[in-house]
Amino acid sequence: DTAVSQTPKYLVTQMGNDKSIKCEQNLGHDTMYWYKQDSKKFLKIMFSYNNKELIINETVPNRFSPKSPDKAHLNLHINSLELGDSAVYFCASSPLRDYGYTFGSGTRLTVV
């Protein structure tokens, strides 16, 4: 199936741990994104890569680091997890900005 797939779907972890969320798209899109949906359901962009180059880097803590080994993958690594990091994280990709995004199904991160 052509899609944006992210793993894991659910992630429960303790404060202070380091975790990664993986994202892969097989749509041939050049641009990939990470969005965070907070408890108020607000979808906010975190990062975007275009052909492995970082093009959007919003104000997020340094504990969050995206990594793009190739244009089909954009992983999100989070160090020293905090309670406030609990949210649903969505990966997305797009061919051009005017075509909108294709989103993954989300990763629900719970920090306890």
Partner 1 sequence: DQQVKQNSPSLSVQEGRISILNCDYTNSMFDYFLWYKKYPAEGPTFLISISSIKDKNEDGRFTVFLNKSAKHLSLHIVPSQPGDSAVYFCAASEGTYKYIFGTGTRLKVLA
CB of 60 to partner 1, least distance (A): 13
CB of 47 to partner 1, least distance (A): 10
Q: Which residues form the interface with partner 1 (CB under 8 A)?
A: 4, 31, 33, 35, 40-45, 48, 50, 55-56, 90, 92, 94, 97-106
Q: Which two structure tokens, joined as six digits, stand for 38?
A: 């907070």
CA quadruple 49, 51, 52, 58: dihedral, nearest 10? -10
Bridge partner residues of 89 (DSSP): 36, 107
Closer to partner 1 by CB, 19 or 56: give it: 56
Amino acid letter, residue 93: S
